[in-house]
Amino acid sequence: MSNIFNFLANPSRFKIFAEKVYPFLLIIMLVFISIGLWYSLFNSPPDYQQGETVRIMYVHVPAAWMALMVYLSMTIMSIFSLVWRHPLADILSKSSAPIGATFTLIALVTGSIWGKPTWGTWWVWDARLTSVFILFLIYMGHIAVVRAFEDEYKGARAAAILTLFGAFNLPIIKFSVDWWNTLHQPASVIKLDGPSIHVDMLIPLILMAFGFLFFYFSFLLINVQTELDHRKLKKLFIKKLNLK
């Protein structure tokens, strides 16, 4: 296992790896999302209470899961970066943040669109909604801090420290529906005694979740390639300046 980490620690080696792998991830993502969309739009029953609006759930729930997952992976990478000074962990964490922020925004917007017909309001200051909104703000703060430093190394370390600090929000988001009995419904898929959702709805949900997961992986690799190219360009530019 540590061999794999060491092998991929070299940025140029990782870049070759990323270039080879990401088309496959992209194809897997497209397959999952197209099958999942077909299932969720045409081949799943409408809810007996919510009617057709339940289909928003197939985008909303995976996006919310991914918003948490991306932050969790950023937290793990920050530990890697602070403890072992793994050079790639910084780049992975930096590239993850915009994707995570987008997922959070998607979850907030779709939830709001779903909330209007179902709850009768676009937005309430419910515990789950508020904590997810805070997660979005933390993502934006992370993005701003990474870009504020002239020195990439320092910026990455600062962002890693902030990511660890913001991780307190993750358990609050996950358990907010259990701790505060407010409007957002409690968990129905990820819980101890198994999912309580009907299998016809579970299948498209799981398919979409995998589609979003592979969306994250493939776009992460694209972002990492861009970042590595960007750094290389900077070095070439500096070299040219030195030659003159």
Q: Which residues bind other proteins (CB under 8 A)?
A: 82, 130, 134, 137-138, 140-141, 144-145, 148-149, 153-154, 157-158, 161-162, 164-166, 168, 172
* Closer residue to other proteins, CB minimum distance, 159 or 221: 159
* Closer residue to other proteins, CB minimum distance, 37 or 161: 161
Give the nearest distance from C-beta 194 to other proteins in angstroms.
30
* Closer residue to other proteins, CB minimum distance, 26 or 172: 172
Give the nearest distance from C-beta 76 to other proteins in angstroms.
16
Task: Single out the residue of 5, 215, 226 nearest to residue 103, CA to CA.
Answer: 215
Give the nearest distance from C-beta 134 to other proteins in angstroms.
5
* Closer residue to other proteins, CB minimum distance, 8 or 170: 170
Give the nearest distance from C-beta 141 to other proteins in angstroms.
4
* Closer residue to other proteins, CB minimum distance, 29 or 101: 101
Give the nearest distance from C-beta 155 to other proteins in angstroms.
8
Give the nearest distance from C-beta 132 to other proteins in angstroms.
12
- Dihedral pair phi/psi, residue 193, rounded to 5°: -95, 35
* Closer residue to other proteins, CB minimum distance, 172 or 203: 172
Question: What is the sign, positive or negative, of the torsion defined by CA atoms of 116, 120, 123, 124?
Answer: negative
According to the 3-state scheme, what is the secondary structure of the chain?
CHHHHHHHHCHHHHHHHHHHHHHHHHHHHHHHHHHHHHHHHHCCCCECCCEHHHHHHHHHHHHHHHHHHHHHHHHHHHHHHHHCCCHHHHHHHHHHHHHHHHHHHHHHHHHHHHHHHHCCCCCCCCHHHHHHHHHHHHHHHHHHHHHHCCCHHHHHHHHHHHHHHHCCHHHHHHHHHHHCCCCCCCCCCCCCCCCCCCHHHHHHHHHHHHHHHHHHHHHHHHHHHHHHHHHHHHHHHHHHHHHC
* Closer residue to other proteins, CB minimum distance, 48 or 168: 168
Give the nearest distance from C-beta 163 to other proteins in angstroms.
10
At 207, list the tokens.
Answer: 């398919």
